[in-house]
Structure 1
Amino acid sequence: MTIAAIAFFVLLGLGLPVGFVMLGASMAYFAQNPMMASIVAQRMSSGLESFPLLAIPLFVVAGAAMARGGIAERLYGFCDTLVGHWRGGLAQIAVLNSVFMGAMSGSANADAAIDARTIVPVMRKHGYSNAYGSVISAASSLIAPVMPPSIALIVYGLLTNTSIGKLFLGGVVPALLIALALMLTVRWTAAQQNLPASRTTRATAREVLSHGKAAIWAIAMPVMLIFGLRGGWFTPTELGAVAAVYAYLVGAVLYRRISMRDTFDLLSESAATTAGVMFIVASASVFSLILSLEQVPQAMIGALTAISDNKYVVLVIINIALLLLGTVFEGLAIIVILGPMLLQLGKTLEVDPVHLGVILVLNTAIGSLTPPVGTVMFTVCSITRCSIEDFSLAFVPFLLALLGVLFLLTFVPGLVTFLPDLVF
Structure 2
Amino acid sequence: MADYEVISDRKTFEKAAAQLAEADGPVAVDVERASGFRYSQRAYLVQVFRRDAGVFLFDPPAIGDFAPLQEAIGEAEWVFHAASQDLPSLRELDLEPASVFDTELAARLLGHERVGLAAVVEETLGITLKKEHSAADWSTRPLPESWLEYAALDVLHLIDVEDALMAELAETGKTEIAGEEFAATLSRLPKPPREEPWRRLSGLHKVRGARNLAVARELWTAREEYAREMDVSPGRLVPDRALLAALLGNPSTKQALAGMKEFNGRASRTQLDRWWDAIERGRASTDLPRERVPSDALPPPRAWADRNPEADARLKAARPVVEATAEELHMPTENLLTPDYLRRIAWHPPEEPTAAAVGEALAALGARHWQIERTAQKIADAFVEAGQSSEQAPADES
Q: Same fold (TM over 0.5)?
A: no
| Band of TM-score, shorter chain | under 0.3
Bigger proportion of residues as strand: 2
Bigger proportion of residues as helix: 1
Name the structure, 1 or 2, with higher relative contact order (CA <8 Å, separation 6+). 1
Q: TM-score, normalised by structure 1?
A: 0.22
Q: TM-score, normalised by structure 2?
A: 0.23
Higher Cα radius of gyration: 2
